[in-house]
Structure formats: structure tokens, C-alpha cells
Amino acid sequence: MVGTPVRERGELEQEIMRMLRDHDQPMSARELQSLFTEHIPAYTTVITVLTRLEKKGQVIRSGDSPRKVKFHAARSDEEHASETMLSALDRATDRHAALLAFAGNLTADDLALMNAAFGTPKKKR
């Protein structure tokens, strides 16, 4: 069917960001395109997505000529996750309630990690 989207909105951006974060070295649009196994996006589509991601500050473009342009993620997965969580928290109308709701969804391992990070002693039973 013509005009039926292959991916959900934002999915191609997420896939490209995952690819960039999975590789230590900057990558060209062609290199990124070659990593797709299904529904391979057109080269121009990859360039468009990379340009949009650059405008959003999510990727950094490097290279001295159009044929040598490469891209890399501006932040690591962990930095991106932290930024996303803080952004969501900033948008919450009740920051306290949002933090409590978030904490309520953490696993025991997550809580142990947070306690260790804050130096909170474990309660003795």
C-alpha cells in the first residue's frame, strides 16, 4: 500500500541514534544506511534524519567535505537517559509526586544502586 509508514513516528531517529551510540567511531550516512537489515531507508532520508538530529543537538557532524562528513552521538546512552528523565521531571506539574511515582517503579536492584550512590545505609532487620 502506497503511503503506509514503515516505522512509527520518531522510530528512525531512535534507530539511528542507537547505531551511533553502539559505535565508538563517527559514522557516515552510507555506513549507517548499510546497518539496516529491513526497510532500508534511502540515503537522502538518512541525511535528513541526521540533519534534524544535529539541529536538536543529539548528533555532532564532523568532516571537511560533503563526502567525508561523519556523525557521532553528542551524548552517551546514560547521559541521554539522564537528560530525558530530568526533562520529564521539569515538565511535571508536581515534581514531588513525579519523583515518588518514579521511585515506586524502581526494582530492588535499582533502589540498592540509588542507596549506594547517595550513601544511604541499609536498614537492619
Write out pLDDT tens, residues 93-120.
Answer: 999 999 899 889 999 999 889 888 888 6
**What is the band of 66 on the pLDDT scale with cuts at 50, 70, 90?**
confident
Nearest residue to 12 via CA among 49, 42, 43, 47: 49
Handedness of CA 105, 111, 115, 116 (dihedral sign): negative
Per-residue H/E/C for 46-83:
HHHHHHHHHHCCCEEEECCCHHHCEEEECCCHHHHHHH
CB 25, CB 72: distance < 8 Å? yes
Q: Which residue has the higher pLDDT, 79 or 2?
A: 79
pLDDT tens sequence across 8-49: 888 999 999 999 999 989 999 999 999 999 889 999 999 999
